[in-house]
Amino acid sequence: MTPHQQPCVKLDTADLHALTIKCLVAIIQANLGEPHLFRYGFGLARIRATSRGIMVEPLNPDRLRNELARLIKWLAPLHDKDGEVARWKKAKPPLDVVTNVLAEPDWPLPRVIRVVPCPVFGRDGRIRSERGYDPNTGTYYSPPAGFVLPPVSEDPTPSKIEEAVRLIRQDLLGDFPWVSSADFANTMAMLLLPFVRDMFDGPTPMHVVDAPTPGTGKTLLVRLVGIVVLGREPGMETQGGSSDEWRKKIGASLSKGSALVVIDNLRGRIDSSHLASVLTTTEWGDRRLGHNDETIEFPNRALWVGTANNPTFSPELTRRIVPIRLDARVEQPASRDPASFKHRDLAGWLDQNRSEVVAAILTLVQAWVAVGRPLGDRTMGSFENWAGVVGGILQVAGIDGFLENLDDFRGRADTETEQKRVFINRWAERHGELPVSTSDLLSLLGDLPDFLELGDGSERSRATTLGLRLVEMDRQVHSGYRIEKARDRGGANQWRLRREVG
């Protein structure tokens, strides 16, 4: 911005509202052309370039004051002995004006949803490849230096579609040991998602890349996804150790408008209500850190990815996951001869050929748009819109197997549900539909893992905890039986099973 374009605010009144209006008008003027100040969630934010690419940075009072000092000329009056304004001197943005601007209920600024380092499709089926902010999608596109998108046909021929699939299947992903065609198809779905996220409403599931043995290529695959989507390798998050840690990690990722969130090396049984929640919403709400009475909200348009070795998940998370299974079928996968791979340095090859890979992905989407955007046949509960769009693109591209491994994955990953079935079957066999106490039910756990997390306390303590768990399971149906609370006996709750018919 040249000096004569810089808006000016004169501090010529003590009326805070009037000064706030002046400041807002100046912000609008300073944000014309190529905007970099936006509404984001419940607050204000700026687009900031970092060594890790562009990001959304929410504005607190210090950051907003920095922007106001840089974008706006502030002048304070100097009065003569008669009280008249003799001249104006440079001034600082007043703190009360800064905080009042932040407290405004509705800022006259555009709303940004996410930042993307790759061209994406808008809802109208057109590729957004112009640098900067697109008001139609709410996305801010900032490609890495040197990126040039090759031409993408609006109506790709069958040979162009085959060429695009071949580049991805053979050159990019050819050396990964997929267990089934479904695992490859689900990987393609993972690659497609950031490019088509603006084409449908609703949430998207988490893609989890897992293997039976370390060194199979899980992290490499996710690194490649990062290079394709971001133009660089992605940052890797670790899982939260507690509910509060999960909440903070999710909020920190979404506060930046991240296009890709990777949780690497998931361990143990994963059970996070916050992770389950963010996967079924497009707006993430939370408490502001240190302010329990203040709520913040961020858009959730990220691609969520996890890696793990033989993971297990809570039932709530299991049904929100798209599985991608790798299995090299050797004792030491990491010791495989690099000379046997198509590219010894696959990440390096992708760095050199990213534009062609991005164009191949866009070609597959464009082919789907050209034939009328038919929705796919497969669906997934809570994610119907996502499955319809991504599945449709894969079908047009001739890629089979999308979501066909869900049942197998859920059987492996959701051990809790299977253990509940065993527990209920033992209960029905021992007691039928008679009322029983929690103490009577403790003995049925036997050699089952302590899936109800009863702890290591006394039998009375474990029975009390089991009672609390049964309250959570009240009215649920397992193995054809409904769990119900029976009449109290001497003040203690009892439980019974009811056979569900039909």
Query: What is the tens place of the pLDDT at every residue in 91-149?
Result: 999 999 999 999 988 888 999 999 999 999 999 999 999 999 999 889 999 998 889 99
Beta-carbon-side half-sphere exposure of residue 266 (alpha carbons within 13 Å): 27
Phi, psi of 128 (to 5 degrees): -95, 105
Provide the pLDDT for residue 3.
43
Residues 6+ away with beta carbon under 8 Å from 66 = none
- Residue found under tokens 């084409």: 199
pLDDT (0 to 100) of residue 2: 47
Q: For the chain, percent helix, then strand, then coil, each to nearest 5?
A: 40, 25, 40
Nearest by Cα to 201 from 383, 402, 391: 383
Q: Which CA distances in Å does 340 have to 39, 335, 345?
A: 51, 11, 12
Structure tokens at 342: 């198509």
Residue count of the chain: 502
Separate counts of helices (H) and strands (E) for the chain = 15, 23
Give me the pLDDT at residue 134, please.
Answer: 93
| Confidence (pLDDT) at 50 | 84
Three-state DSSP class for 77?
strand
Q: What's the rounded Cα separation, in Å, for the pair 331 and 349?
A: 28
Long-range contacts of 271-275 (CB under 8 A, 24+ apart): 271/313, 271/314, 271/316, 271/317, 272/239, 272/240, 272/243, 272/246, 272/314, 272/317, 273/243, 273/316, 274/240, 274/243, 274/246, 274/247, 274/250, 275/206, 275/240, 275/246, 275/250, 275/317
- Which pTM was predicted? 0.84
Query: What would the two tokens of residue 196 be?
Result: 């088509």
CA angle in degrees (0–180, nearest 5) for 174-175-176: 100
Residue type, 7: P
Contact in structure between 182 and 405 (CB atoms under 8 Å): yes
Query: Quick check: 233 and 226 in contact, CB under 8 A?
Result: yes
- Of 312, 328, 329, 300, nearest to 220 by C-alpha is 328
3-state secondary structure of 369: helix
Q: What is the pLDDT of residue 466?
A: 82
- CB count, 10 Å around CB of 100? 16
Q: What Rg value do the Cα atoms of the chain yield, rounded? A: 28
Show the tokens assigned to 287.
């408490």
Q: What is the pLDDT along the chain (502 residues), one digit of tens a residue?
A: 444 478 999 999 999 999 999 999 999 999 988 899 999 988 999 999 887 788 999 999 999 999 999 999 999 999 888 888 889 999 999 999 999 999 988 888 999 999 999 999 999 999 999 999 999 889 999 998 889 999 999 999 999 999 999 999 999 999 999 999 999 999 999 999 999 999 999 999 999 999 988 889 999 999 999 999 999 999 999 999 888 899 999 999 999 888 999 999 999 888 899 999 999 999 998 876 555 566 788 999 999 999 999 888 888 999 999 999 999 887 676 667 676 788 889 999 999 999 999 999 999 999 999 999 999 999 999 999 999 999 999 999 999 999 999 988 887 777 777 778 888 899 999 999 999 988 888 888 777 665 666 666 677 787 888 888 888 788 888 888 999 988 665 666 789 999 987 5
